[in-house]
Structure 1
Amino acid sequence: MDQRGKASPVEMTPVLRSAPALRLVHHALEHAESRGWSVAVVVVDHGGEALASARMDGVGAPTLGFAADKAFTAATMRRSTRDFCARMNGADDLRAGLANRPRLITWEGGLPILHGEAIVGGIGVSGALGHEDAECAQAGLCRLGLSSGI
């Protein structure tokens, strides 16, 4: 609404910037290191474009790609990759369509990033067990006072 009480034709959306994205990556990596896990982390903006990424020593390049796809899926599908996977259960038509969408992934470890009610990005972690990947992503968000909505 504008000052006159009329609906605005333009909706303003918060934007995730590169500096906090880098801090998210750092905090998620710190959490993994404290647990003895080796992971890769990627943070994307609301459209799924990479803002920051890193992989720990010894983590292969494909793992970074998995993390990127988890972050992309969480941001663009507006839900965690775990929830996205649950949505696929018993939905053969959705699973068949998913096979034609190369960046969407249902492995746990991708979380949307919320600022208030707005999805401003996604974080993906890969390299440990699925629930450990998700734990690292959530730890990064918590350290910055952000939410995944779950």
Structure 2
Amino acid sequence: MRNFGRIVGTLVAGLLVSGALGSAHALDQKPVLSVEAAEKMALACDAYARSHSWKMNIAVLDDGGGLLYFRRDPASFRGSVDISINKAWTATQFGFPSRVFGEMIVKRAEGIQYTPRLIIFPGGLPVKAGDLLIGGIGVSGATGDQDEECAKVGLEAAKDLLK
């Protein structure tokens, strides 16, 4: 019986070493949105907003919808804090700009406007590395189109870090 245990132990050890029992492949790796890239986006957006005298709240979320970076102009609307975060959340969860939902409900509402956290106006954009969704940026404080314009400036500023 003792020999049987040694034989089984030796076989299991051999299988583990050869990779037959465990995965022989490393985990698939996906790009991750870095704090550095998030900060670069927010700072570029903030500088652009200030050059137009827009008082913005800027949120950058990771691909799970967690807040990675936030920047607020002290003179911005306090109510826009959650709106900017939820614009980024909308883009992160669905992979397309928040404005798309506004365009959808004009044609056919279906109650989507009552979905918690979902924002239906411009200012939320997905952050991608190639074709992979890695986060979202949400901007609020001016008109929806100006918010989205500012978010685009942020994405453009960090494109070298989004690989």
| 1:54 maps to which of 71, 80, 85 | 71
Structure 1 unmatched ranges of 5 or more = 1-7
Larger gyration radius, structure 1 or structure 2: 2
Structure 2 unmatched ranges of 5 or more = 1-24
Q: Cα distance, 1:24 vs. partner?
A: 1.1
Maintained 8 Å contact 1:82/1:109: yes
Between structures 1 and 2, the one with greater helix share: 2
Paired with 2:77 and 2:108, the residues of 1 have a C-alpha distance of 32
Paired with 1:41 and 1:67, the residues of 2 have a C-alpha distance of 6
Equivalent pairs counted in the alignment come to 137
SS at match of 1:16: coil
Maintained 8 Å contact 1:109/1:130: yes
What code does the residue aligned with 2:64 have? G
Is 1:132 matched up with 2:146? yes
TM-score, normalisation: structure 1? 0.84
Paired with 1:97 and 1:131, the residues of 2 have a C-alpha distance of 21
What code does the residue aligned with 2:133 have? I
| 2:100 maps to which of 76, 83, 96 | 83
Maintained 8 Å contact 1:41/1:126: yes
2:36 equivalent in structure 1: 19
Percent of residue pairs bearing the same amino acid type: 32
TM-score, normalisation: structure 2? 0.77
Paired with 1:86 and 1:68, the residues of 2 have a C-alpha distance of 20
